[in-house]
A and B are shown apart, each in its own frame.
Chain A
């Protein structure tokens, strides 16, 4: 008898599990799918927590590089909102009809920091070390792909160091990889996002210098509502929240600028 009950019990358990899963996914309101550039992910997580605390809409975050997410969106990825690391990709989506016209806005302005893993006596020491060229490798994000990389090149040009440091430059695909190269000691210095430095708090190794904003064009990160979600009230609610004073405070505290 027990031998026969085994499979039948397993079947019942399986049906119960399937019923439960389908009920659960039908019961709650559809969550908002937000695709965010990796550099903004930690801030997006803070925003998600804050937003979910004050509304009954759940947020699902998907992160990746801007180019990767762009490709996914043009191939039918089911995202509602796209928070890019640049302005170019949201603009192209809008032009091609993948994004809702007029929904594009700058949700954050990226700020660049130069990080030295060795302690060099504070921000001025980092600046001095860059000018001396006293290091083996300086990591920057790929300037062809990442706005932070393009900004880093602008900074080097503005300081007249581009030629001198050419042989010492190594490229990560994005600021996340630049961070990893410096953190693992493979590059002594790297141009990262200020937000990455802020996220470390007291655990930060070495020193960083917040690069003066006059040395590079502002890194505007645009967000956009995707066409398929134009009538989704949950997506509209999250977009409205993104522009709210409360969200802007969180964004600013995390090392990004916000539009006046």
Chain B
């Protein structure tokens, strides 16, 4: 099957993105669920931005950011010798931005649904905030965690506009499933496009079915 590389690459990208977002999303969602800071709505708005921004906007600004002559792109080139655009690392960064709300919002809902009284009880028993989080909040948020991971993974698999702009469509490196579908349609290879599309359609449906069967509580707030 000629598109095997694209499928494998999409799976890899989704897996790495989910792991990176898990590491970033847990502290961020925890902070959002427990803070009384005035900055909370601002951070919440920033987190939700990828839900409303077209992927082309994200892609365009990432292209500007990845420019080897710009600070971030330049730093990356001096560290690794390669550019962020056209690389797997660049796609991971793009996907982390693109899928951020899909990780943070279900986590925040899950953390918030653990009552404040339980947390305060733990604090009275002299548990540190980290202890409270680890032994009280996290175990009760298992389903929220699972939901967040599944949604992040699935959303990243479906990424199109951003990779189209910053990926460079390099086989085995940046050519993901959605790009392969686009190329097949453009090239009037509908049979190949159908194979990939049906696969993605079934995958997405099963994923969402799983999430809803698991728990209907963790919905995205903006969409």
Contact = CB atoms under 8 A, between A and B. Distances in A.
Interface of A: 65-68, 70-71, 92, 136-137, 139, 142, 144-145, 170-173, 177, 180-181, 184-187
**Among the interface residues A66, A92, A144, which one has the most CB atoms of the partner chain B within 10 A?**
A144
B218 interface: no
Contacts, number: 70
B90 to A, nearest CB: 9
| Contact residues on B (Cβ < 8 Å of other chain), bracket | 20 to 34
Nearest to A92: B188
Contact of A171 (B68, B82, B170): B170
Contacts of A67: 185-188
Nearest to B65: A184
Contacts of B197: none
A186 B83 contact: yes
B186 A65 contact: yes
Contacts of A173: 164, 169, 182-183, 186
25 contacts: A65-B186, A67-B188, A68-B185, A68-B186, A71-B186, A136-B83, A137-B83, A137-B86, A139-B168, A145-B183, A145-B186, A170-B85, A172-B168, A173-B169, A173-B182, A173-B186, A180-B63, A181-B85, A184-B67, A185-B67, A186-B66, A186-B83, A186-B85, A186-B86, A186-B166
A170 B186 contact: no
Contacts of B165: 177, 180
A184 B64 contact: yes
A145 B68 CA distance: 28
B169 A172 contact: yes
Contacts of B187: 67, 144-145
A173 B165 CA distance: 9
A71 B185 contact: yes
Contacts of A171: 168-170
Given A67-B186, A142-B183, A145-B183, A186 B169 contact: no
A198 B183 CA distance: 29
Contacts of B182: 173
